[in-house]
Amino acid sequence: MVERVIDIKGVHFGYGKSWVLEDINFQVNEGDFIGVIGPNGGGKTTLIKVILGLLKPQKGQVFIRGYPVEKGRKFIGYVPQAIEFDRAFPISVQDVVRMGRLSQNRLLKPYNQKDEKIVQECLEKVEMWHLRHHCIGELSGGERQRVYIARALATKPHILLLDEPTANVDSKVQNNIYELLRQLNEHITILLVSHDLGAISRHVKTIACLNRRLYYHGDKLITPEMLEATYNCPIDLIAHGIPHRVFPPHQ
């Protein structure tokens, strides 16, 4: 039986008077590679924060592998957006990845040999081991993204959760990162959010659309209704920007 990794039931969340997320029902199963697309301000980052337990939904529940978020989030390897960040921060690539080995019951205990081995494996997997002594601020956007992926992998996650993984990188680097994610998906479930419909649709297995409400049918087809509800604009305005294969046959 396929395990249900993330289970979101009837979640409502708002910062003020109106809902940013409304009645979200969404299941992520083991082995999935789901891209959540939506316009800026559509609630993508909020959804990630709810899944990580950084924000508490006013209504509804989130389970990760059957546990409530505070307990279940240890199974998530979180890869944040690599944009906002202090370039002068004195931390080496290796130390960033070591953070993935932290946990509550490791307080006061130093990293051990097993941790160092995992850190090396993860850095080799993303091909960044040779830059391990470099300062994180000396890396390019794409390299930094790889380091954050390595850090998430070092947590030995059941699911990778990525927030705009290809923001601010050029299209060649973008393809490299998606190729890496495709390889990782052979063993790990992946959920990512992006506003870049074109890039996402070529690489993920299935697509969900989010703009306050979430539309997901467990396949890669985006119906005109989904798009219209998500982007609130006539489909032909954006149809040219995305590959035709994500559309059902045109009538």
Partner 1 sequence: MASPIGYSPHINNPHPQDGDKPHPQDRDKPHPQDRDKPHPYMPMLESLQSALQLEFMRNAIIAGILVSIACGIIGTFVVVNRIVFISGGIAHAAYGGIGLAIFFRFNPLLGAIFFSLLSGIAMAVVERRTNERKDTIIGTLWAMGMSIGIILIDLTRGYKANLMNYLFGSILAVPKQDLWLMLILDLVILLMVCLLYKELLAISFDPVFATTRNLPVDSLYLLLISAISLTIVMVMQVVGLIMVIALLTIPPAIANQYVRGMIPMMILGSLLGMAFILVGLILSFLFNLTSGATIILVAGTTYFLSYLFQFFFPRKLSVP
List residues binding partner 1 (CB under 8 A): 52-54, 70, 73-74, 76, 78, 80, 86, 88-92, 95-96, 98-100, 102-104, 107-108, 110-111, 133-135, 138, 151, 155
Two tokens at 99?
């953070």
- In whole angstroms, the minimum distance from the beta carbon of 88 to partner 1 comes to 6
Pairing assessment for the beta strands 206-211 and 59-64 based on DSSP bridges:
unpaired
- Nearer of residues 101 and 203 to partner 1, judged by Cβ: 101
Closest approach of partner 1 to the CB of residue 120, in Å: 14
Start-end of H helices in the chain? 44-51, 69-72, 93-98, 113-125, 141-154, 171-184, 197-203, 224-231, 235-239
CA distance 88 to 235: 44
What's the closest the beta carbon of residue 152 comes to partner 1, in angstroms? 9
Cβ atoms of residues 75 and 158 within 8 Å: yes
Of the pair 9, 49, the CB lying nearest partner 1 is at: 49
Nearer to partner 1, 15 or 244 (CB): 15
- Token representation of residue 83: 């944009």
Q: Facing residues of 34 across strands?
A: 191, 206
Complex with partner 1: residue 152 or 222, whichever CB lies closer: 152
Structure tokens at 74: 């240890």
Using the minimum distance from each CB to partner 1, give the nearer residue, 52 or 207: 52
In the bound state with partner 1, the residue whose beta carbon lies nearer, of 129 and 247, is 129
Contact 178, 203 (CB under 8 A): yes
Distance between CA 245 and CA 12 in Å, rounded? Answer: 33
Question: Helices 141-154 & 171-184, crossing angle to 10 degrees?
Answer: 10
From the CB of 219, what's the least distance to partner 1, in Å? 30
Give the shortest CB-94-to-partner 1 separation in angstroms: 9
Q: In this structure, how many other beta carbons lie within 10 angstroms of the beta carbon of residue 95?
A: 16
Q: How far is the CB of 55 from partner 1 (least distance, A)?
A: 11
What's at 154, amino acid-wise?
Answer: A
What CA–CA distance (Å, rounded) separates 100 from 154? 5
In the complex, least distance from residue 182 CB atom to partner 1, rounded to whole angstroms: 24
Q: Give the residue with the Cβ less far from partner 1, 7 or 115.
A: 115
